[in-house]
Amino acid sequence: MDQSESNQLPTIPAHPIGYTDAMELLGHMDGPLVPSYRRGLLDIDYRFGPEMLTPARKVRLEVNVETERRTIHNVVGIIRGREEPDRYVVLGNHRDAWNLGAVDPNSGTACLLEITRALGEMMTRGWRPRRTLMFVSWDAEEHGMHGSYEWIEEFGKIMSDRAVAYLNVDNAVREVYTLRARATPSLKPLLREAAKMVPWPVSTQDGETLYEVWSKRSPQTSDPDSPPEIDLPASASDYVPFVRRIGVPILDLALVHRYTYTYPNYPLYHTAYETFHLQKSHIDPDFKFHRLMSQLWAGLALSLAEATILPIDTSEYADTVREMYDWLENGYGSKFEGATISLDALESAVSNFSQAAVAFEEKLSSLQDDTDPLVARMYNDQLMQMERAFIDPLGLLYRRLNRHTILSSGLYPTETFPALGDAVRRMGSDWTSPGKADKLKELKEQLSIITFFIQSVANTLAKPASTVF
Ligand SMILES: [Zn+2]
């Protein structure tokens, strides 16, 4: 296909510029003020243009972006599982960098290599994991996650059938203040437990384990005893195709500075200053925090590869879906009522998921250690199918390549089901005017779709050969 035939490639030329140039260009723009939610953090009035304040001025932007065909390489290492070789726990990190990449992605690569070295040593003593471990070094992440996307396009069916989880570490050590974690809800409890096993490598009053320091420095709420904050998956690294295309549970981990939305990055991100010197002299001189990340990542991988019953949680997922429902109901319940659209079916699907999740966990807790491998496999298959059941093969409305009905972020910022949340935002404030008929139809469709998928998820957890079939 010729580049001009693609409806996916952006048509507006874009080029990153530095602070000084940005101040100079944006500071001289004229035109109406941009709304506050679209302003940046420079100390200027943000204006739309297109004129400049001094009319005679013009800007000529030369964009030096070349299009060329390149070969990329994903490198995949495998430790074949002893008892369930057809179940894969995948660890991944990209290898390409904008510059030297000592933080992004090489701090992650150092950890991945250290894990393979340690597990390789265990293998020489005869060890093998119960399930297969895969270690992937992705190419071309920075250009649009091409390595991981194309791999999932090529092996999507196999991965959908066999992958237990995908564990991503990209910028392993940006700073050494706290952990920033993203996870599908089903893996949050596992992450909290794994963090309790890892010692914090320097002495601090905030605690002795990663979990203690992390909870203290990144609490979920203002309550000092609240668990550490774990975000839902975003759209930022090679875990995206796993979760949004094929519904594989994911984790994404990084050590960062104090994390806030106004200061989400460290200043040297993607610059030429991401050098070995930066790591060795400033961020992590003894590489103790690289070791911490290797211990955490390997601990998580081994839990998923070795446990008889997969450490995939069901009720925390149901709680997340319930929170998404509550957000919708609290914010827009009266609007739905005014338009005579009932939320009852959605509410019932959400409740069914909660009940199925609790019942499933009760069943699991009654299992013994010496569970018959076929029985264990039956429950594990159900746990794996739970995430897959959120996948809509037709994709989300207007974003067909995003197929996860819960964990594809919305086009508009909401805290509810992405496609339904978008449809709600498109309704505007007046839901009943005749001009809104098409949008209202779209909203009803999205309500049906999300109801259907949540009920399908609940069904995956039902007792085999009983209530459902
Ligand atoms: Zn990266």
Tell me the residue type at 457.
V
Q: Which long-range CB contacts under 8 A does 344-351 form with residues at least 24 apart?
A: 345/451, 346/447, 346/450, 346/451, 346/454, 349/451, 349/452, 349/454, 349/455, 349/458, 350/318, 350/321, 350/322, 350/325, 350/454
CA 157 to centroid of ligand 1, rounded, Å = 26
Q: Which residues contact 238 (CB under 8 A, 6 or more apart)?
A: 92, 93, 94, 138, 141, 145, 147, 148, 168, 170
pLDDT tens-digit series, residues 70-127: 999 999 999 999 999 999 999 999 999 999 999 999 999 999 999 999 999 999 999 9
CA 410 to centroid of ligand 1, rounded, Å = 23
3-state SS assignment for residue 453: helix
How far is it, in rounded angstroms, from Cα 139 to Cα 74?
Answer: 5
What pLDDT does residue 325 have? 98
The Cβ of residue 371 has, within 10 Å, a number of other Cβ atoms equal to 15
Tell me the residue type at 296.
L
What pLDDT does residue 469 have? 44
Residues known to be catalytic: 141, 342, 381, 404
CA 401 to centroid of ligand 1, rounded, Å = 21
CA 273 to centroid of ligand 1, rounded, Å = 15
Give the DSSP letter string of 374-418: HHHHHHHHHHHHHHHTTB-TT-BTTBTT--BTTTSPPSS--SS-H
Which conformational region is residue 141 in: left (phi greater than 0), alpha (psi within -120 to 50 degrees), or beta? alpha
What pLDDT does residue 14 have? 76
CA 349 to centroid of ligand 1, rounded, Å = 38
pLDDT tens-digit series, residues 2-28: 888 888 777 787 777 888 989 988 999
pLDDT tens-digit series, residues 192-217: 999 999 999 999 999 999 999 999 99
Q: Where do the domains of the chain lie, and which CATH numbers do they carry?
A: 1-69 (no CATH), 75-306 (3.40.630.10), 315-460 (1.20.930.40)
CA 94 to centroid of ligand 1, rounded, Å = 6
How far is it, in rounded angstroms, from Cα 256 to Cα 276?
Answer: 17
